[in-house]
Structure 1
């Protein structure tokens, strides 16, 4: 995996934000992104199943939904030929990405090209492995690096079709899961005061994501703001009751009781020691 700030000679695909594909060489970047929206959708669809065949029918549906033109297959073939040509650069052949025709459709082989989703997955896996072994600073660095790859909502502007809508939703879920891990690491590392404003924004952006409320309650409590922690719980409970007719999950309810009783187990140093005691030796 290469840092995006390291210049060399390679092609890089990016889906963690608006679709991007570029040829990097020395200190220059040449965009290879198709200008036509239909070709962008096709490229994104191939990236959503990179290394796997995407059927011709799926691609037609993604572009035209339930109103394909009479010669949709012919038009699709032309678009694919144009995409192939656009991806051909003077990068060494073994480092090129390649669109391959393979029944019942097409597939994209990355070859030596880079892909930001793969980089993200590698960094998150590294973070979780280090978290599980108690190497918290290294885990924090890895998951922060993974989150830094994001440039906005996945495939922004290209998710009208079902295939790309599902793909973008899955990517966004992976982003939120990585964010939850990073915030949990912040709490274990004693950064509770620094993340209060971020968590306040997150519960606004994800009003039914109970993990963020739990993190905010704990950050408030460790920052000597017990009343704010309790109000955070009340806010969540009211929202869940009004929107879904349910109560907060058991972990959040247990945290609420612990905050009410000022349980010493909530203190940062105690929680850090308990976590490290559970790490396999």
Structure 2
């Protein structure tokens, strides 16, 4: 059974969860749950009372909002640390500051901190030209992603901006990992994933480009040309634009029978230090 000596762990990359050992410590009351999730997203940062109230009540807070917030904070503290009372000591995790609060967490206590730390490490490995190190770090970061962030709090509308930002970070990390896999000559392993992403996020030209490169590495140049034609139709119908210069350049090289992989990353600042491990199939 978990004790108060064990650290709390917070997870926002999926349903919102707080655990201590094997015991769940996630508040069940909606406002308390939203309050703690908001503070977790800004762990170790001061969050003003006025900002919390604006977020929890969507800028239409009742006159009793401050008193209600104080009650939520007290309830959350007791859920996180059973037996805690304000009369005995300050709370070890959820600290009060003048006109606000801070949720104090160590890096290993929040999945989002780990996710971003591993992402930065992976990007540093890319800059250093280390495919293997980059793939390990990016894979570990993606392993922390359990599903749509704060999935059980989406309907509240409180976290729309936060969720959009996190999803963008996730897509950027996927993009970087696919680049690393292409560098390793593993394009055939990511064709299906890229086809799905091109359908779900049709305006992300980079995914269309990566799909063409992956298909070429899999020896499917004709399919790569078909993928470009599909990207052209999607971009023109959804956004009224033509493919950008990078995607067009890859198309031209594939069409002429050249090496699109080299061209596809020649001007990629993130891949300045990476060397092609495997040639594209002719």
**TM-score, length of structure 1 as denominator length:** 0.84
SS at match of 1:107: strand
Aligned partner (choices 210, 224, 230) of residue 219 of structure 2: 224
Unaligned runs of 5+ in 1: 1-7, 91-95
CA distance in 1: counterparts of 2:149 and 2:38, whole angstroms: 13
Corresponding residue for 1:101?
96
SS at match of 2:14: coil
Corresponding residue for 1:183?
178
Corresponding residue for 2:34?
41
Corresponding residue for 2:279?
none
**4+ aligned runs moved over 4 Å, structure 1:** 160-163, 270-274
- Tell me the CA shift for residue 187 of structure 1: 0.7
SS at match of 1:175: helix
Corresponding residue for 1:262?
257
Corresponding residue for 2:15?
18
- Tell me the CA shift for residue 81 of structure 1: 0.6
SS at match of 2:94: strand
CA distance in 2: counterparts of 1:112 and 1:86, whole angstroms: 21
CA distance in 1: counterparts of 2:106 and 2:135, whole angstroms: 30
Corresponding residue for 1:199?
194
Corresponding residue for 2:66?
73
Question: Structure 2 matches for 1:1-281, cutoff 5 A?
Answer: 9-24=6-21, 29-88=22-81, 98-111=93-106, 114-159=109-154, 164-264=159-259, 266=261, 275-276=274-275
**In angstroms, what is the RMSD of aligned CA positions?**
2.6
Contact 1:87 1:97 in 2 (8 A): no
SS at match of 1:68: coil
SS at match of 2:152: coil
Aligned residues: 260
Q: Are residues 109 and 154 of structure 1, via their aligned partners in 2, closer, same or farther at CA, if it must alter by over 3 Å?
A: same
Contact 2:221 2:254 in 1 (8 A): yes
Contact 1:98 1:111 in 2 (8 A): no
Contact 1:180 1:211 in 2 (8 A): yes
Contact 1:11 1:113 in 2 (8 A): no
Contact 1:62 1:161 in 2 (8 A): no
